Amino acid sequence: MTDGRVTFYYRDGCHLCEAMASLLHRGWPDVMANLQWVDVDSSPEWQQRFGLRVPVLEKNGQVLCELAANQQCLQEHFGSPVNPV
């Protein structure tokens, strides 16, 4: 259903990150199965790039969602959710 690389930038303990990951897991489990997870605190470069601006969901380098899930955007890129979100 998804063409290309999907990357989820997150931070441990971030409630917004947990909320977006949960929504993706419920609505688009196939996306979650192939998601590249990046902990922004694992690299000084990512810490500088994102700062407190997480979570960020990218597809092929294009930002789809930042700080909160945009369900309309997710549906445009990944199709209708398989479970209610």
Q: What is the mean pLDDT of the chain?
A: 94
| pLDDT band with cut points at 50, 70 and 90 for residue 2 | low
Residue 62 has pLDDT above 70, yes or no: yes
Distance CA 36, CA 51 (A): 19
Residue 63 has pLDDT above 80, yes or no: yes
What letters, b where the CB count within 10 A reaches 16 and e where it falls short, cover 40-69?
beeeeebeeebeeebbbbbbeeeebbbeeb
pTM of the prediction? 0.91
